[in-house]
Amino acid sequence: MGRAVGDWEGGPEAQLALPPLPGVVRVLGEPAPGGSSESLRFSNDGRIVMASLYQGMSRAYEVTTGELVLDTSAYQAIDRLKANPRRARWTAIRFIFSTLAGFIGLGPGLSPRLTRRGKELLKQRPGPMGLDDFDLAARQVRKIEDEWPVLSPDGRVWASAEMDAPLAFIDAQTGGTISTSRKRTTAGDTGPRVFSRDAKLFSAERKTGLVGIWDVPSGKVRHELKGHTGDLAAVAFSPDGTLLASAGADGTIVLWNVETGEWLARQVGWEGGASSIEILSHRGTPLLAATDMATLGLFEIPSLEALTRIGGGAESLEISAIGGSPDGALLAAGRLDDTVHLLDIAVLLAAPGYIEGDTVRVATSPPPTEEDDRRNAEAFEEFVKARLAELDGALDGELRALLAALPRGTTRVAFNFDPLLLADGDSVSWEAFGRDGSLASGTPALFSMPLLPAESLSTPQYQSAKSPPEDALAKLFCAWMARRWQAVAPPDLKAVLVPPESLDEEFDLRKGRWKR
């Protein structure tokens, strides 16, 4: 049961040990360590707010009472589904409970059948419904195969963006394909993806830094918008579908005209990037809401000038996701204690919102071009090469010490690595092999410390260089290791680098080339 503000002495935030938020109307859920909402959305009639949680679980709350009306976080029921191959795949349940069609008014989409007990619960409402209250072997459910399907607000269409398959738009009522597109999303089934409210448009990342807008009925790409130098972090349509906002990991937010594809305004300075954004219509006035977990801001549209921005500094607001009500009166804020706070937007707008040293500002320059990305990538690669050249002597010493310590009978050395070791450290290990298998293993001391300054990874140059993610760093590192190995190791000792799965090959240090 949710609690109204007056239910707790000192207000809800005093009980939840979180920084206070202005305009809290109600707190939904009970605080729990380590929980958070990955996304939030309201039903079309505004009566229900749905919180999508970790591992695909969901909870639904009534807005006016705070009552928990559905909870799919029953792990025992999930385990039973996994163990029963005659039931639908348990991953399909994520779709069913994010739809809830015919139950909470999200739309006339797919309706899972209720069991006898579920029908009684629906009538009596003695407590939240769970997985056991639905017949999950319904014919429609078996059609759902996507790990992370995205449903349109009206419940009629879902998008499937599984790896190595065309992007597909599926009729949620029949399971039939509406359209497909060979121009798929880069993030597979995990990146930010969203439908317009009328389900005619769909947006997701096309390529790194490139925002795609698809026409759902035809499957054609309407626009490919170059707005960011790094990965796309969040995307949101306006209620009327005429505007699109995109947030990037490079710390920018861009507002777009959906019809023309032109950029209208651009923000920079979101340290770490905005993690969740929403376009609202508050009393007929469009607003952009955005959070980077530490702060929460409301901004004018189309200028993106700040109306209020709270949090920051030593007091992070701990907001994992936001979502706006259809009437624009409420903003749901998921917090890192597993609760959802409903905020009165009018009160939030009236709250003082100055953050000392705020870096977020409206930019007058246009979004970066592909040529900008190319120059950034080249600049970062030159920076990395220069840094690695400075470490030649240190690596030579490490390799000589390793060679001296190898057990007798070693015929091959394998290095396992993550290219992000260039910043994080402690990511490389080695293993020596002989005729009878593994002989010894360890971690070179050089790689227990960062090789690149951490601040270099937040620059536009790095964001442009890591496309596909991390591969550029991996290749630079492989070439550097090969040069140093060839300089110090005996010619008859084989050595390989075992890179991430994304490269799908081994790098032969002696020959300096990739091999299957």
CB burial of residue 369 (10 Å; 0-12, 13-18, 19+): exposed
What residue spans of 100-240 are helical by DSSP H?
A: 116-124
Query: Is 87 among the domain residues?
Result: yes
Q: CA 425, CA 420: separation in Å to the nearest integer?
A: 8
User: Measuring CA to CA, which residue among 179, 168, 175, 98 is closest to residue 144?
Assistant: 175
pLDDT score, position 84? 43
Please check the confidence at residue 274 and state whether its pLDDT lies above 50.
yes
Q: What band does 364 get if pLDDT is binned at 50, 70 and 90?
A: confident
Residues 259 and 312 in one domain: yes
Residues 87 and 18 in one domain: no
pLDDT digits (tens, 9 = 90+) for 131-157: 444 443 333 333 344 445 577 777 678
The arithmetic mean of pLDDT across residues 318-334, rounded, is 93
pLDDT higher at 236 or 83: 236
Query: Is 110 among the domain residues?
Result: yes
pLDDT higher at 108 or 320: 320
Residues 264 and 296 in one domain: yes
The arithmetic mean of pLDDT across residues 292-311, rounded, is 92
Please check the confidence at residue 479 and state whether its pLDDT lies above 80.
yes
The arithmetic mean of pLDDT across residues 390-419, rounded, is 88
Query: Is 178 among the domain residues?
Result: no
Q: What band does 474 get if pLDDT is binned at 50, 70 and 90?
A: confident
- Supply the angle between the helices 370-390 and 392-405 in degrees, to the nearest 10: 60
pLDDT higher at 289 or 11: 289
pLDDT score, position 34? 66
Query: Is 184 among the domain residues?
Result: no
Structure tokens at 473: 């760093």
pLDDT higher at 48 or 397: 397
Query: Is 129 among the domain residues?
Result: yes
Query: Is 249 among the domain residues?
Result: yes
| Chain CA centroid to CA 276, Å | 9
Angle, vertex CA 31, rays to CA 30 and CA 32, nearest 5? 115
Of 153-162, 196-205, 211-220, which gets the smallest average pLDDT? 153-162
Other CB atoms closer than 10 Å to residue 28's CB: what's the count?
A: 27
The arithmetic mean of pLDDT across residues 419-431, rounded, is 67
pLDDT higher at 183 or 107: 183
**Strand locations in 34-191 (E):** 37-42, 48-53, 58-62, 68-71, 113-114, 134-135, 150-151, 157-160, 167-171, 177-181
Residues 73 and 8 in one domain: no
pTM beyond 0.75: the answer is no
Cβ within 8 Å of residue 364, ≥6 positions away: none
Of 101-105, 163-167, 383-387, 445-449, which gets the smallest average pLDDT? 101-105
The arithmetic mean of pLDDT across residues 339-345, rounded, is 95
pLDDT score, position 240? 93
pLDDT higher at 481 or 463: 481
Q: What band does 473 get if pLDDT is binned at 50, 70 and 90?
A: confident
For 448, phi and psi rounded to 5 degrees?
-95, 5
Cβ within 8 Å of residue 333, ≥6 positions away: 21, 40, 291, 296, 317, 319, 321, 322, 340, 341, 342, 343
Residues 353 and 233 in one domain: yes
pLDDT score, position 365? 83
pLDDT score, position 279? 96
Q: Are 49 and 348 in contact (CB under 8 A)?
A: no
| Chain CA centroid to CA 30, Å | 24
Please check the confidence at residue 446 and state whether its pLDDT lies above 50.
yes
Domain span at 427 = 370-515
How would you classify the pairing of strands 232-237 and 494-498? unpaired
Query: Is 156 among the domain residues?
Result: no
pLDDT score, position 436? 85
Residues 255 and 336 in one domain: yes
Residues 436 and 477 in one domain: yes
Domain boundary among 335, 365, 395: 365
Please check the confidence at residue 407 and state whether its pLDDT lies above 50.
yes
pLDDT higher at 67 or 502: 67
Angle, vertex CA 24, rays to CA 20 and CA 30, nearest 5? 80
Residues 25 and 115 in one domain: no
Q: CA 353, CA 136: separation in Å to the nearest integer?
A: 47
Of 143-157, 204-218, 233-247, 301-315, which gets the smallest average pLDDT? 143-157
CATH number at residue 336: 2.130.10.10
Residues 21 and 53 in one domain: no
User: How many domains does the chain contain in total?
Assistant: 3
According to DSSP, the residues that pair with 309 across neighbouring strands are: 297
Q: CA 319, CA 330: separation in Å to the nearest integer?
A: 15
Query: Is 213 among the domain residues?
Result: no
Helix (H), strand (E), coil (C) string for 341-376 = EEEEHHHHHHCCCCCCCCCCEECCCCCCCHHHHHHH
The arithmetic mean of pLDDT across residues 411-439, rounded, is 78
Q: Measuring CA to CA, how many Å separate 305 from each of 58, 221, 297, 394?
A: 34, 30, 10, 50
| Average pLDDT score, the chain | 76
Angle, vertex CA 511, rays to CA 505 and CA 512, nearest 5? 65
pLDDT digits (tens, 9 = 90+) for 246-271: 999 888 999 999 999 999 999 998 98
Residues 253 and 239 in one domain: yes
Structure tokens at 287: 């607003």
Residues 388 and 323 in one domain: no
The arithmetic mean of pLDDT across residues 385-411, rounded, is 89
Residues 379 and 398 in one domain: yes
Domain boundary among 365, 388, 415: 365
Please check the confidence at residue 389 and state whether its pLDDT lies above 50.
yes
Domain boundary among 110, 144, 178: 144
The arithmetic mean of pLDDT across residues 456-477, rounded, is 66
Q: Are 323 and 39 in contact (CB under 8 A)?
A: yes
